[in-house]
Structure 1
């Protein structure tokens, strides 16, 4: 059966085009649930409400996770509570942001 760790690893190819860091290290992925029949439900947020690339990020996330064996469907649900902050970022994500000149 597909694991949460495998899903998170697959999601590391998904990036916000405005920020050169993947959605996992940015701390945008809040929850991953996997059913026995291979349906993956992802709850995530974006750095801002009304992000113009929301549909692109959703499609990229769905495609990335669908590549995993045993995954039959992917549902991405965007939530806005709790709001995203830089404190949700991984240490690696913060390091990457600093490399690109962002102050985090």
Structure 2
């Protein structure tokens, strides 16, 4: 699967002969990711810093590289599945592959300023 970083601009889908605005698609994916919350922390997974990378190819297939707050996270099974299912609901998305990594391990430094403020860490 040839993947292109979502924020790389427009690419052309040879099969459908139409342009994909990857910036617009990226915004849609981020909007969905911001609707998914870690059940133990009242912050969405995007602001929490659990999403390391989002890529899309010209066939509307998405790959999401993400982590969890710890390898023993109680939602290790359900959270990646929720991410996959919700991103698949975006129009034109054909497939979603969610890969979990612990390299680098998650730390509070990965959280956005918004998340830190929400959790009273600023």
TM range (shorter): 0.7 to 0.9
For 2:86 and 2:33, the matched residues in 1 are separated by: 6
For 1:86 and 1:26, the matched residues in 2 are separated by: 8
Structure number with higher relative contact order (C-alpha < 8 Å, ≥ 6 residues apart): 1
TM-score when normalising by structure 2: 0.76
For 2:55 and 2:29, the matched residues in 1 are separated by: 10
- Extract unaligned runs of 5+ from structure 2: 1-19
Q: Specify which of 39, 61, 64 is matched with residue 42 of structure 1.
A: 64
Q: Work out which of the two has the higher radius of gyration on C-alpha atoms and give 1 or 2.
A: 2
Q: CA deviation at 1:38?
A: 1.0
Q: CA deviation at 1:5?
A: 2.5
Q: CA deviation at 1:82?
A: 0.6
- Extract unaligned runs of 5+ from structure 1: none
Structure 1 runs (4+) greater than 4 angstroms displaced: none
Q: CA deviation at 1:50?
A: 2.0
Matched residues, number: 100
Q: Specify which of 79, 85, 105 is matched with residue 83 of structure 1.
A: 105
For 1:35 and 1:43, the matched residues in 2 are separated by: 14
Q: CA deviation at 1:4?
A: 2.2
User: Greater strand share, 1 or 2?
Assistant: 2
Q: CA deviation at 1:33?
A: 0.6
**Is the partner of 2:99 in helix, strand or coil?**
strand
| Paired residues for 1:1-104 under 5 Å | 1=20, 3-98=25-120, 103=121
Q: CA deviation at 1:64?
A: 1.6
Choose 51-60 or 80-89, whichever is displaced more: 51-60
For 2:94 and 2:84, the matched residues in 1 are separated by: 11
